[in-house]
Structure formats: structure tokens, C-alpha cells
Structure 1
């Protein structure tokens, strides 16, 4: 083998230049240069002649063990022969499917695999998958726009939303199109607030909420969040129809009512009607709106204020808290809840945030999913809805 033409060794790592022959060809050159036969090489290496014949003819490859043996026999490093075998196998291997690179680009920006597993997209060859992607995200032209959409996915201009959050938002929009409600009436929604407020006593009354909202022309649905997201809810619009989407991430009564009233306030204010939706994420974290621009932060603060004061004026709670703190008894809480006609879980939830103690009277906290989901449009939680793209 002419090492100068084909292999240059740097330390123990060989660099292989262009060649298009199996490694057995170079073994033949080595034994011919030494005047050996294949039988001689078999004797030297301790292999059968049949094994050596198969390797030289290209019917078998060079194992790692044989590469070491050939290095000893020819006075070279084992990496020379192992490298020749590896390069030949790579040359002979089929070229990868071009869609691999495209799917890697998509998965690098959006949780495509999870979206497929949730039934939001269907598994398909790449061009069809790209078409589905474009339709899912309401892009007019798949070929031109979806690449630009991918490229912009992690920019702050994209409404401050992470790709996982955007995917959840568009799933809400996709499913909301399947729902039918009367024409939206802001007046009816405002008039419904006392009725909704009356449902804060008994958790079983949550089942009535979708119907109340539907009568006002509001499409209400529950879509389970994606992995590694802390989405709570969103207000978005399909034409002139408002949509409230929730995740029930916290699955507790106090959080449910806070998120719902927060999103209702967004609807009443017309927030998101211009296409600049606010996906409400990690709402229990007071720092969640710090990075928003002034307009968005004002919208969030107004919605928070409405939600905070919906069960009763928040000042009433803080006054109660100041009078009783730090010795607030369970009896005190039950009495305050009864006086204000709300379930104790709602009062306890608010006091937990004031105390910054989320274990306090935790036994009173009530879960919500079993009361609201059977009467709502639900996607996820083991029920993946089929929707046309």
C-alpha cells in the first residue's frame, strides 16, 4: 500500500484521502509487497484462510480485533485498518433521507414530535408535514412562509411567546373553529358576571360555566398544556368571536376562578383582537409580566385586578388578613368564606399567596378537572380531539 498517496498519519489518527476501494485491496497490496500469500497472512494472524479470503475480496469487513492484528503484522497502527473499514462503510452506506435535516430544523424550533403524538399534526412525509404545519399555524403558503416562521420562532417579536406556547395557542384556535356559539355580545358577558360569581360557592357548579359563556358568544375550551410549559390560559379571537382557552395546569379551585376571570376581562377589553394575543403563563408568579412591553403589561395588570377583586373586594381580604395575622384559624376562614358566599378554597388560596405558605390549610383546596371537564370541549388528558387541517 502506498501510504504517501492514501493515508497520512498524524499521531495515531489517520487522514484518508479519496479512494473508492474496499480495505481488502490494501491488504492485498501489503502481502504482495512482502511476497506473502493469503495463506501466509492467515498463518501470521492466526485466522483461517477462508476468513482472510473473504476480507480481501470485500465479502467481510475488518473487525476491531483484526485491525489490531493487521497493524502488528504490517508495522502500522491499528487505526489505519479500522479507519479504512469505517471510511469504506460510510462510502457504501445509503445517503440519508433529505427529510431528516428538515425535520431536525422543525423539531429544533417547535415540539413537532409531541404535536404529532397529541394528534395536532399527522405523521407524514416531509412535504405533507410542512403543509400541515403551515395550515396549523395559519400560514397562507407552506413553502414560502413556514421556513420564515421557524426562523422567527424564538425571537421576542413573536409576541414574547415561546414556540411551545405558540403551538398550544394555535391548537386552541384550531379547535375553537369547530365550536358553534351565538354572536358575541359584550353586554351579555358583562351581565353574566353576577351569575358566574354565584357559582363560586359549590365546586360542582363549575359544570354550568361553559353554558353561561356560550350564551354570551364566548367559545370556552380546555386544552392540556405541552410538556415543560406553564401555560394557564389565553384570550384569542376567531373573527369577531372571542375564545377562552385554559389548561387547568394547577387543578385547584382558587386558581381556576382567577384564570377564568382574568381571561374574561381580556375579552371584555377586546385584548388580543388585533392578533396580538397574550398567552398567560405562570400566573402565580408575580414576575411573569415583568418583561412585557408597557401596553401588554397594562392589559395584564387590568385583568389581574379584575380577577383579584371578583370574589369580593380584595381590600376586604387584606383587612381580614391584617386583623387575624399571624393567628388565622380554620374557623376564621370558614366564617369569612360563608359571609362572602364563596368556597373556603378561594379564600385559602389568596391567603396562601399573602402568607407565602402554600401548605397552609391545604386540606381545604379543591380540584377542578372532574367538575368542569365532562361539560366542556376538552383536548388532552387522554382525549385527543380530531381536527381537520
Structure 2
């Protein structure tokens, strides 16, 4: 079979293993055939090329390490991951991003302080860039039950993608810290994407490790043991405890709701701020 240039896009470096590239091309074409029209780009040829390149980059690996029982269709996840990868690669070309030299638990303790003021959400991306990490906010596709993902691109820079599925402050910060915990703990694994759906409980060791580090980074265990709001369920105690730790009160309220499985408490507080509106400046 003869493939014309217009029919078979070349790799970004104008070379590829022909057989592997063609297999990735066919798989990408099959994926896109199952994607709803509203989830497709206006430029379908470009989307086919980008998805082919994404699938080729993971040839010989799992396409992603999914949190157990991830329910979203693989096609939608593949398209979403491709958008994030493409945006991240464009960004690294346009900006002078330093190489990634590592991230540690102390860094996580530092970045969570940005949660204390919602206006500081705009500072999260630049803070991460200083450490060679690219943050992409890319809303998820309809029917795609994914909260976040993390992976490395060819330059070795980690990329964190957040879908903003639930635009609450507590959910945003737990998702971000969970993905960054993977960077701290599992950096060597990230050339294969890790994709997370927090509505599913995972038994995977890497997920339990990331959950623990994220939770402890948001609120240290020693502090949590003495949190008055655990016993009073008082919003004022939540606010005062958060102020003491210099973090958002929604983080404290959200943890109480999860641990107690009491999603009827602090509803007004946790829904007070819509992260999507803050990040995308929507009224």
C-alpha cells in the first residue's frame, strides 16, 4: 500500500518506524471514529496527527496507568491526553522552561500555601514552571470521568493536566497535590501517563502512596490530630484552623466531609468559589 504525504502525516522530527507509525495512525483513526462530534476539533486532520503522535510515543507501553476501574471511555481519555500533551509541547517550545531536576515533599508544603488566597491560583502555574513542571488546565470532555493526569514529555519535563471536573477549591487542591505527589514519588514511571478518577477507590500501591503524600502535604498529620473542627463541626473552627495553617478553609472542610462521609456539612463554604470561573475569568 502506498501512503501519500497528505494521507499519512509524518512525525514531528520527520522520521518514524513506518510499521509502528502506521499502527498508531490506524488506532488513532479508530479512536476518533468513536468520539462524539462535539469533542472533535474543527481541524480533524490536525487532531488525527496529534493523536497518532501521542499513541506512537507510548508504543510498547500501556497507554496510561489508570486508577482502578476508571469508567471513562478510552477514546475520550486518549483525545484529552493528546490535547494536554500538545499544549505542553507547544508551551515548552515557546517558553524558556528549565529542566526538571526533581520535586520533594518540602516543595509540596510550600506550594499549598498558595491556596490561602484564591487570587493566588494564577501563581500556581508559574511556581511549577520554575521547577520544570508544566501545568495545563484542560476541561474534560463530556462523559469523561477523569480528574487529573500526570506524565513526562520528551524533554523530561513533567506535565500535570487538570480537568476541573468538580470546580471546588478543595477538589482542585487535592487533585493537584495528588498529581504532584506522583512527580515526587514516581518520577521514573511518568513517561507513561497516570490518569486519575477520584470517584473510584484504588488498591494500587502508587495511588495509595500519592493519596497519602497529598493528604499529608495539605494538612500535616500532627496538625490534623488536634483540629478542633473534627469534634465541633463548626465553620468558625474550620476557618480559624485553616488560617493557622495558612491554607484555604475549603481544604479543611473538604477533608472533614470526605472522612466523615457527611457531604451535607459545610456545603455553602466548599461551593463558595468556582475554580473554573477564577482560572478562566468567567463571570
The two structures share one fold, judged by TM-score above 0.5 = yes
Kindly indicate whether structure 1 or structure 2 has the higher relative contact order, using CA contacts under 8 Å at least 6 residues apart: 2
Q: Which residue of 1 aligns with 2:88?
A: 176
Deviations 1:344-369 (A, max 9, x none): 11111111112212231211123222
Q: Which residue of 2 aligns with 1:166?
A: 78
**Which among 33, 36, 39 is matched to residue 115 of structure 1?**
39
Q: Which residue of 1 aligns with 2:217?
A: 310
Deviations 1:2-49 (A, max 9, x none): xxxxxxxxxxxxxxxxxxxxxxxxxxxxxxxxxxxxxxxxxxxxxxxx
Q: Which residue of 2 aligns with 1:277?
A: 193
Deviations 1:271-318 (A, max 9, x none): 47453321111x1x3x4324xxxxxx1111111111111122246435
**Which among 358, 376, 379 is matched to residue 263 of structure 2?**
358
Rg larger in structure: 1
Does the 8 A contact of 1:107 with 1:113 survive in 2?
A: no
**Which among 314, 322, 343 is matched to residue 248 of structure 2?**
343
Secondary structure of 1:251's counterpart equals: coil
Q: Which residue of 2 aligns with 1:106?
A: 30
Distance 2:113 2:213 in 1: 16
Secondary structure of 2:110's counterpart equals: helix
- TM-score normalised to the size of structure 2? 0.72
Distance 2:191 2:34 in 1: 20
Deviations 1:106-161 (A, max 9, x none): 37863152332xx2x624xxxxx5x85254232688xxxxxxx9xxxxxx986456
Distance 1:159 1:276 in 2: 7
Distance 1:280 1:107 in 2: 20
**Which among 80, 92, 102 is matched to residue 186 of structure 1?**
102
Cα gap change, 1:114/1:191 in structure 2, threshold over 3 Å: closer, same or farther?
same
Distance 1:122 1:209 in 2: 31
Does the 8 A contact of 1:185 with 1:217 survive in 2?
A: yes
- Does 2:232 align with 1:232? no
Unaligned stretches of 5+ residues in structure 2: 1-25
Distance 1:186 1:225 in 2: 28
Does the 8 A contact of 1:169 with 1:279 survive in 2?
A: no
Deviations 1:192-225 (A, max 9, x none): 4343122121111111111100111111111110
Q: Say what the alpha-carbon RMSD is for the aligned residues.
A: 3.1
Distance 1:349 1:267 in 2: 23
Deviation at 1:323, TM superposition (A): 6.0
Secondary structure of 2:201's counterpart equals: helix
Secondary structure of 1:243's counterpart equals: strand
Deviations 1:153-186 (A, max 9, x none): xxx9864562221221122111111012221121
Deviation at 1:340, TM superposition (A): 2.2
Q: Number of matched residues?
A: 238
Q: Which residue of 1 aligns with 2:48?
A: 133
- Does 2:160 align with 1:244? yes
- TM-score normalised to the size of structure 1? 0.54
Distance 1:212 1:301 in 2: 26
Does the 8 A contact of 1:235 with 1:272 survive in 2?
A: no
Q: Which residue of 1 aligns with 2:138?
A: 223
Unaligned stretches of 5+ residues in structure 1: 1-101, 124-128, 142-148, 150-155, 291-296, 375-380, 382-389
Distance 2:63 2:107 in 1: 36
Does the 8 A contact of 2:101 with 2:132 survive in 1?
A: yes
Secondary structure of 2:274's counterpart equals: coil
Does the 8 A contact of 1:213 with 1:220 survive in 2?
A: yes
Distance 1:338 1:184 in 2: 32
Cα gap change, 1:207/1:201 in structure 2, threshold over 3 Å: closer, same or farther?
same
Cα gap change, 1:114/1:357 in structure 2, threshold over 3 Å: closer, same or farther?
same
